[in-house]
Amino acid sequence: MVVAHDRAVGRLRASYELIPPGEPVRLAKRSSNLFRPRADPGRPGLDVSQLTGVISVDPAARTADVQGMCTYEDLVAATLPHGLTPMVVPQLKTITLGGAVTGLGIESSSFRAGLPHESVLELDVLTGAGAVVTARPDGEHADLFRMFPNSYGTLGYATRLRIELDRISPYVALRHVRLGLDALAPAIDEIVASGTYDGEPVHFVDGVAFSPSEAYLSLGRNSDAAVRTSDYTGQQIYYRSIQQRPKDFLTAHDYLWRWDTDWFWCSAAFGAQKPVVRRLWPRRWRRSDVFHKIVGFENRHHVAARLNRRRGQPDRERVVQDVEIPVARLADFLRWFDTHVGMRPVWLCPLRLRGQATWPLYPLQPGETYVNVGFWGTVPIAPGAADGDVNRRIEQAVTDFGGHKSLYSDAYYDRATFDRLYNVAALDEVKKRYDPDARLTGLYEKAVTRR
């Protein structure tokens, strides 16, 4: 695999040389987990088609060398037979390791394992200048290593990453604990401080708020045995089980991908949760990337939007966001959100930086617990309002509550506010070194103006 990897990097560098001087450099890649549609530039891009695999797994050292475009689905398939997983496995199968590091990622291990980039030991990056450099926490390219998370390809693209791996048991035992909004923060604080809840170990934690009066934390622990295991890839739907089953068992594989089958709960928008439709919808097509392609088709052709207008229904604004809120402000934010936006349910995922290092482009505070609040759907555009107004109110509220917003979806910040929140001045200094001719699109242009 090492020889094949070297050939793949050679192919990538050759594709870079084919891009005319002065032309922007971007990936020649159709699929994406981003929610920022861009027009096809109609120009050649970087050939990353051979950078999709796992180079090696070292079970003794608990590390893996992985190509940048390798999906977590393929990565987990290579590590799980060894009883290992990445420290953090984002919820959707087709998220790539390089994408999760340069664009952030999160999951139910993040309260103890942090974010995916914190388990990176070193990475090779094709820079905007066309060089491949190896960045580590210290040494010549430490500035690139520190600035790479949340840079979204503005400094370059990862071709290889060496990551730490975590042990996982064959099964995960789950408890779904119902709590009031004001009880969420104390429970999360207890879990973070002790790794336990009510005397039982907690290795994984996330949750769902179905309404202001109904919220749950789903607490998982590694288990070598299971009384029985549930299957949420068929007729049963995982998120509904949270309200129905106080306790559950899943295989480690099915736990890691529990959210992918129904794209959390978003498959309902396509009718895929209706029993008749679900029986007819092939199981192999019940996965997040299929639903994402349907959304992409709608974004291009606006079929559903035209039908809604013919029915006299208002246009709808897409509200697809993940935001990090300090745990002490969680209940207040959820109440604000339900009053002013009203989307239900929302996902809750506690996180905490694993170490004391700070990451300049997404400045979470070491030692502070946050909760990722995820909400994905649409809301009607009110009379006299404009598309984007709801998202702008959310952005302001996140800032008011002391939080941060991920950049994988729509953003509406003005340039000055964006530069301040995401430390763009520090990014620009590093960009001068690794992309001196500005071949790579800037962060504001990618996240806000969609260039």
pLDDT digits (tens, 9 = 90+) for 327-377: 999 999 999 999 999 999 999 999 999 988 889 999 999 999 999 999 999
Pair (356, 444) in one structural domain: no
Pair (444, 361) in one structural domain: no
The residues, ordered by sequence, that sit 6+ positions from 85 with a Cβ below 8 Å of its Cβ are 76, 79, 165, 166, 168, 252, 256
Pair (155, 124) in one structural domain: yes
Separation CA 287–CA 292 (nearest Å): 9
Separation CA 442–CA 342 (nearest Å): 33
Comparing C-alpha atoms, which of 366, 215, 214 is closest to residue 205? 215
Separation CA 255–CA 291 (nearest Å): 20
pLDDT digits (tens, 9 = 90+) for 85-125: 999 999 999 999 999 999 999 999 999 999 999 999 999 99
Pair (90, 47) in one structural domain: yes
CB atoms within 10 A of CB 399: 16
pLDDT in tens, the chain (451 residues): 889 999 999 999 999 999 998 889 888 776 666 776 655 555 678 999 999 999 999 999 999 999 999 999 999 999 999 999 999 999 999 999 999 999 999 999 999 999 999 999 999 999 999 999 999 999 999 999 999 999 999 999 999 999 999 999 999 999 999 999 999 999 999 999 999 999 999 999 999 999 999 999 999 999 999 989 999 999 999 999 999 999 999 999 999 999 999 999 999 999 999 999 999 999 999 999 999 999 888 888 887 788 788 888 899 999 999 999 999 999 999 999 999 999 999 999 999 999 888 899 999 999 999 999 999 999 999 999 999 999 999 999 999 999 999 999 999 999 999 999 999 999 999 999 999 999 999 999 999 997 6
Q: What local confidence, expressed as pLDDT, does residue 324 receive?
A: 98
276 lies in some domain: no
CATH of the domain at 124: 3.30.465.10
SS3 289: helix
Expressed as residue numbers, the domain containing 441 is 2-168+428-449
193 lies in some domain: no
212 lies in some domain: no
Comparing C-alpha atoms, which of 80, 230, 64 is closest to residue 160? 64
Q: What local confidence, expressed as pLDDT, does residue 239 receive?
A: 98
Pair (350, 435) in one structural domain: no
**What residues are paired with 120 via a beta bridge?**
163
347 lies in some domain: yes
Pair (438, 309) in one structural domain: no
Q: What local confidence, expressed as pLDDT, does residue 212 receive?
A: 94
Q: What local confidence, expressed as pLDDT, does residue 31 receive?
A: 62
What pairing do the DSSP bridges indicate for beta strands 316-326 and 404-405? antiparallel
SS3 328: helix
Number of domains into which the chain is organized: 2
Pair (149, 39) in one structural domain: yes
Q: What local confidence, expressed as pLDDT, does residue 414 receive?
A: 97
Give the chain's radius of gyration (CA, Å): 22
The residues, ordered by sequence, that sit 6+ positions from 31 with a Cβ below 8 Å of its Cβ are 94, 289
CATH of the domain at 345: 3.30.70.2520
Pair (373, 445) in one structural domain: no
Q: What local confidence, expressed as pLDDT, does residue 33 receive?
A: 62
Query: φ, ψ for residue 13 (rounded to 5)?
Result: -65, -35
11 lies in some domain: yes
